[in-house]
Amino acid sequence: MFDGLSDKLQATLAELRSHGTLTEDDIDRAMREIRLALLEADVNFKVVKAFTTTVKERCLGADVVGGLNPGQQVVKIVDEELAALMGGTAAGVAFAPRPPTVILLAGLQGSGKTTAAAKLALHLREEHGSSVALAACDVHRPAAVEQLVTMGERAGAEVYRREGETDAVAIATWALEETRRQGKDVLIVDTAGRLHVDADLMDELVRIRKATRPTQVLLVVDAMTGQDAVNVAQEFAAAVQFDGVVMTKLDGDARGGAALSVKAVTGKPILFASTGEKIDQFERFHPDRMAQRILGMGDVLSLIEKTQKEFDEDEARVLERRMRKGEFTLEDFLSQLKQMRRMGPLTSLLGMIPGFSGQQLRNLKVDERELDRVEAIILAMTPEERRRPELIKGSRRLRIARGSGTSVQQVNRLVKQFDEMRKVMKRIAGGKMPDMAALLRQGR
Amino acid sequence: MAHDWNDVFLLDRPEREAVAEAPEARGGFLRRLRESLGRTREALSAEVQATVAQALDEESWERLEEALIMADVGAVTTADVVERLEREATDTGLSGEALGERLIELLTEQATVGDGHIDLRHRPTVIMVAGVNGTGKTTTIGKLAWHLVQEQQLKVVLGAGDTFRAAAVEQLAEWARRAGCEIVTGDDGSDPGAVAFEAVRRGREQDADVVIVDTAGRLHTQDDLMAELAKVRRVLDKQLEGAPHETLLTVDATTGQNGLRQARSFSEAAPVTGIVLTKLDGTAKGGIAIAIARELGIPVKLIGVGEQLEDLRPFDPGNFARALLEP
Ligand SMILES: Nc1nc2c(ncn2[C@@H]2O[C@H](COP(=O)(O)OP(=O)(O)OP(=O)(O)O)[C@@H](O)[C@H]2O)c(=O)[nH]1
Ligand SMILES: Nc1nc2c(ncn2[C@@H]2O[C@H](COP(=O)(O)OP(=O)(O)OP(=O)(O)O)[C@@H](O)[C@H]2O)c(=O)[nH]1
Ligand SMILES: [Mg+2]
Ligand SMILES: [Mg+2]
What is the per-residue pLDDT across B60-69, written as a single tens digit (0 to 9) for each?
788 888 999 9
CA of A111 to the centre of ligand 4 (A): 13
pTM for this entry: 0.79
The whole-angstrom separation of Cα B153 and Cα A237 is 45
Residue A274 and residue A173 in one domain? yes
**pLDDT top residue among B199 and B27:** B199
**Each residue of B286-297: pLDDT tens digit?**
999 999 999 999
Cβ-based contacts of A2 with chain B (< 8 Å): 257, 260-261
Residue A144 and residue A280 in one domain? yes
**pLDDT value, residue B282:** 94
In a domain, A300, yes or no: no
**Each residue of B204-237: pLDDT tens digit?**
999 999 999 999 999 999 999 999 999 999 999 9
Residue A216 and residue A280 in one domain? yes
CB contact under 8 A, B135 and A110: yes
Residue A145 and residue A250 in one domain? yes
Residue A237 and residue A155 in one domain? yes
CATH number for the domain that contains residue A311:
1.10.260.30
**pLDDT value, residue A167:** 97
Lowest-pLDDT range, A122-126, B21-25, B138-142?
A: B21-25
The whole-angstrom separation of Cα B72 and Cα B64 is 13
The answer to whether B48 touches B99, Cβ cutoff 8 Å, is no
Domain membership of residue A58 as a residue range: 3-85
Peptide bond preceding B23 in cis form (omega within 30 of 0): no
Q: What is the DSSP track for B136-192?
A: SHHHHHHHHHHIIIIIS---EEEEEE--SSTTHHHHHHHHHHHHT-EEE---TTS-H
Residue A109 and residue A233 in one domain? yes
Work out the percent of chain B whose per-residue pLDDT is above 90. 72
Which amino acid appears at position B296 of this protein?
L
The whole-angstrom separation of Cα A398 and Cα A391 is 13
In a domain, A320, yes or no: yes
Which amino acid appears at position A45 of this protein?
F
Gap between the terminal Cα atoms of chain A: 29
Please count the CA atoms within 13 angstroms of the CA of A322 that sit on its side-chain side. 15
Pocket around ligand 2 at a 6 A CB cut-off: A 109-110, 141, 193, 195; B 131, 133-139, 162, 165, 168, 217, 250, 278-279, 281, 304-307, 311
**Each residue of B141-200: pLDDT tens digit?**
999 999 999 999 999 999 999 999 999 999 999 999 999 999 999 999 999 999 999 999
Name the domain boundary from A57, A85, A113: A85
> How many domains would you assign to chain A?
3
pLDDT at B25 over 50: no
Nearest to A73 by CA among A60, A86, A87: A60
pLDDT-derived band at B29 (thresholds 50, 70, 90) equals: very low
Which amino acid appears at position B239 of this protein?
Q
**pLDDT value, residue B230:** 96
**pLDDT value, residue B265:** 95
The DSSP code for A390 is: G
Distance from CA of B160 to the nearest CA of A (A): 14
Name the domain boundary from A231, A261, A287: A287
For chain A, residues with pLDDT lower than 50 are 1-5, 67-68, 296-301, 304, 308, 354-359, 429-444
Question: A63-66: long-range contacts at Cβ-Cβ below 8 A with a sequence spacing of 24 or more?
Answer: A64/A22, A64/A27, A65/A21, A65/A22, A65/A23, A65/A24, A65/A27, A66/A21, A66/A22
Residue A351 and residue A250 in one domain? no
Find residue B246's DSSP bridge partners: B127
The whole-angstrom separation of Cα A252 and Cα B220 is 7
The atom of ligand 1 lying closest to the CA of A112 is 17
Which amino acid appears at position A83 of this protein?
A
In a domain, A120, yes or no: yes
The answer to whether A5 touches A292, Cβ cutoff 8 Å, is no
CB contact under 8 A, B282 and A226: no
**pLDDT value, residue A301:** 44
Residue A116 and residue A257 in one domain? yes
In a domain, A405, yes or no: yes
In a domain, A295, yes or no: no
CATH number for the domain that contains residue A165:
3.40.50.300
Nearest to A78 by CA among A263, A295, A261, A352: A295
CB contact under 8 A, A231 and B283: yes
Q: Of how many residues is chain B composed?
A: 327
pLDDT-derived band at B22 (thresholds 50, 70, 90) equals: very low
Q: ipTM of this model?
A: 0.88
Does the C-beta of A406 come closer than 6 Å to ligand 1? no
pLDDT-derived band at B72 (thresholds 50, 70, 90) equals: very high
E strand or H helix at A227? none
Name the domain boundary from A287, A321, A346: A287
The whole-angstrom separation of Cα A386 and Cα A330 is 5
Cβ-based contacts of A366 with chain B (< 8 Å): none
In a domain, A95, yes or no: no
Restricting to B residues 3-42, those with a Cβ less than 8 Å away from any Cβ of A are none
CA B291 to chain centre: 15
Q: Of how many residues is chain A composed?
A: 444
Residue A223 and residue A334 in one domain? no
Restricting to A residues 317-346, those with a Cβ less than 8 Å away from any Cβ of B are 345
Q: What is the DSSP track for B28-82?
A: HHHHHHHHHHHHHHHHHTHHHHHHHHS---HHHHHHHHHHHHHTT--HHHHHHHH
Provide the sign of the torsion angle of the four alpha carbons A180, A184, A185, A188, taken in this order: negative
CATH number for the domain that contains residue A53:
1.20.120.140
**pLDDT value, residue B124:** 96
Residue A139 and residue A267 in one domain? yes
If you take atom 5 of ligand 2, which residue's CA is the nearest one? B279
The rounded mean pLDDT for chain B is: 87
Name the residue facing B75 among A40, A224, A368 (closest C-beta).
Answer: A40
**pLDDT value, residue B117:** 94
Q: What is the DSSP track for A20-51?
A: SS--HHHHHHHHHHHHHHHHHTT--HHHHHHH
CA-angle at B284, arms to B282 and B287, nearest 5°: 140
In a domain, A92, yes or no: no
Residue A316 and residue A273 in one domain? no
A281 interfacial to chain B (CB closer than 8 Å) = no
Distance from CA of B276 to the nearest CA of A (A): 15
Name the residue facing A146 among B167, B227, B279 (closest C-beta).
Answer: B167
CA of B142 to the centre of ligand 2 (A): 10
The whole-angstrom separation of Cα A273 and Cα A251 is 9
Find residue B252's DSSP bridge partners: B278
If you take atom 1 of ligand 2, which residue's CA is the nearest one? B306
The answer to whether A150 touches A125, Cβ cutoff 8 Å, is no
10 Å Cβ neighbour count for B81?
Answer: 21
E strand or H helix at B113? none
**pLDDT top residue among B137 and A412:** B137
Q: What is the dihedral of CA A361, A362, A364, A368, to 10 degrees?
A: 100
Residue A22 and residue A126 in one domain? no
In a domain, A218, yes or no: yes
Work out the percent of chain B whose per-residue pLDDT is above 70. 85
CA-angle at B74, arms to B68 and B79, nearest 5°: 70
